[in-house]
Structure 1
Amino acid sequence: MELNLTRLRRFLSVYRNESFSPAAEDLAMTHSALTKSIQALETEIGTALFERSTRQVVATEAGHRLAAKAQELLAFSDQVREETLSHHPHLRLIAGPAVIDGPLAPALVALQRSQPEARVTVETMPPDVATVRLLRREVHALFYHSMTVASLPSRGQLKVREIIDEPYVVALRSDHPAYRHGGSMDDLLQYRWAVPGFDRLYQSAMAPDREEAFRKAGFPHYRVLNTAACLSLAADGDAITLVPRSFALGEALASGLVTMPISHAPRYAVSAVTLTDAPRMIALDALIAALARE
């Protein structure tokens, strides 16, 4: 079944207006022409989309379902048209909060120098939702912690490249008791933690004994969407946060925090995820190479 996009746009106008007359006026077409267009769409799909009465037009269950999907389809259609007509590459990316706050910004600066015409849109969202969008080809690549990536669905359709692997360090106030006593990750679980982007898939990829220790400790006490907020909780409160070593050299010290290495801690490993059959994009290759150098 091939859906006519023009009819879908007309259907959405009727759906939003709950009436044919104002929808026809919005679309600059006659009431009868709009009615025939909706009837053709119903024939095309094979089910009624509206319950019609003399006073109002009410969507059927099928109409409600189509409205939700039609908006996504039309938005994607507009994206395809824009990218087809554009002379410049437009990278659409989804990344974890710690990637956006950490290595992505300097990598984008490097991309700007090597590919000055490239446009980039970066979003963050739960990784399983991001994977659905990648499989729908609504975005070009995902960047998440490698432990999260290991638990993504549909791995057979995904090309995974680990591009960053470095130690985490603890960032905390110099007067925090943990700084005086030090210790392993297990020792530090007794304190309050603030962590960016500690998602369900990351947690499920842990070894069972590790996951149990984190669960019993209530780790993390604060799970927020960016590293800057975690650093503020550490600087102005009693929280400890975990940051990549390269990030700690600048941002953590700028916040007035001290850092210390930690034994038995997970590593900051980031993977780039694309579709196995995706066409090559020079701008994306350049960005991934820049991330790998950061």
Structure 2
Amino acid sequence: MDVELRHLRAFTSVARHRSFSRAAEELLITQPALSRTIAQLEGNLNVRLLDRSSRHVELTDTGAEFLAQAERVLATLDQALAVVSHRVTLRLGFSWLLPDPWAQQTVSRFEEKTGASVTLTRTDDPLHALRQRTIDIALVRGDIDAPRGARTVRLYDEPRIAVCSEHCDLTRLGHLDWTDVQYWPLVVNTVSGTTGPWSWPEGRRPAQIIETANYDEWLETVAANRGIGIVPEVAQRRTQHPAVRFIPLTGAPPSPVSLVHFPDAQRTLIRRFLEAAVQAGSQE
């Protein structure tokens, strides 16, 4: 019988949740794909494991017996993996300021459930590092152009805030509207920034753009009063610089936070990390 671990994990998830939709969310796959996997399992075994209706999912008598054995097999496998998991490391790349408390919750939950560890790698261009396979997962902000063949999981959206020098006239206004950013010189991080001239349609873009290559250069350029900046609000909580001020920004579109990975790299470990990441992201 051609039964694979993915069949067992899919079946036990559906049986536990009594729902294809909730199981699909847990497994990070589509509901049609999950239905096909269960159908393959039942076809390979030549038995009916689940009774389905439009409102609920129930185990057949055979399905209940099979569930007990399938859970025992998966538990034994997890125990075997735990023997070596403490030597396994997942590399998470980021450009600046990991989101909080998402990062702490995700890493803690992942390490607790798998026994593996997470290595945090700060790099100016996480997507380049992902292409070079020096990291396993890239955390990125803003609209991105993912590498060919990579998969993107959108976690949640961060609100934006304006940043300026303590000597900037913007400090006296008290707030800034998204449509008025065009009238100010805008400092842009061209490598990993979330806001740039591409964020506005033609005719509404800032007339003056000051380019920098990383977050530190961006911050010091704003502090030197060369222009204003636009960043996710996490920067206000995490950035300590005596020469900058954070200004409320109204009407700004949110900045998406996503994870990018290649499906052929550490599949099981990445799947478990994504499960923890999505769960933590849903609480943001």
Task: Pick the TM interval, shorter chain.
Answer: 0.5 to 0.7
Are 1:140 and 2:127 matched, yes or no? no
- In structure 2, what is the equivalent of residue 103 of structure 1? 99
CA displacement at 1:245 relative to structure 2: 1.7
What is the CA RMSD across the aligned residues, in angstroms? 4.0
Pick the aligned partner of 1:152 from 139, 143, 146: 146
Q: Name the SS of the counterpart of 2:256 in structure 1.
A: strand
Q: Distance in 1 between matches of 2:130 and 2:260?
A: 9
TM (norm. structure 2) is: 0.52
The letter for the 1-side match of 2:137 is A
TM (norm. structure 1) is: 0.51
Uncovered stretches (5+) of structure 1, i.e. residues with no partner = 1-84
Pick the aligned partner of 1:192 from 177, 180, 185: 185
1:158-197 matches, within 5 Å, as 158-181=150-173, 182-197=175-190
1:188-267 matches, within 5 Å, as 188-198=181-191, 206=199, 208-209=201-202, 213-214=204-205, 217-219=207-209, 221-226=210-215, 228-251=216-239, 255=242, 257-267=244-254
CA, structure 1 residues 146+240, in 2 after alignment: closer, same or farther (shift >3 Å)?
A: closer
Q: Could you say which structure has the larger radius of gyration?
A: 1
CA displacement at 1:91 relative to structure 2: 1.3
Q: Name the SS of the counterpart of 1:170 in structure 2.
A: strand
CA displacement at 1:246 relative to structure 2: 3.1
The letter for the 2-side match of 1:248 is Q
8 Å contact from structure 1 (residues 131, 152) kept in 2: no
CA displacement at 1:142 relative to structure 2: 1.7
Count of residue correspondences: 195
Uncovered stretches (5+) of structure 2, i.e. residues with no partner = 1-83
Q: Distance in 1 between matches of 2:257 and 2:228?
A: 22
CA displacement at 1:178 relative to structure 2: 2.0
CA, structure 1 residues 266+218, in 2 after alignment: closer, same or farther (shift >3 Å)?
A: farther
8 Å contact from structure 2 (residues 184, 227) kept in 1: yes
Q: Distance in 1 between matches of 2:235 and 2:229?
A: 12
8 Å contact from structure 1 (residues 193, 241) kept in 2: yes
Q: Distance in 2 between matches of 1:201 and 1:240?
A: 14
Q: Distance in 2 between matches of 1:202 and 1:194?
A: 9
* Percent of residue pairs identical: 19
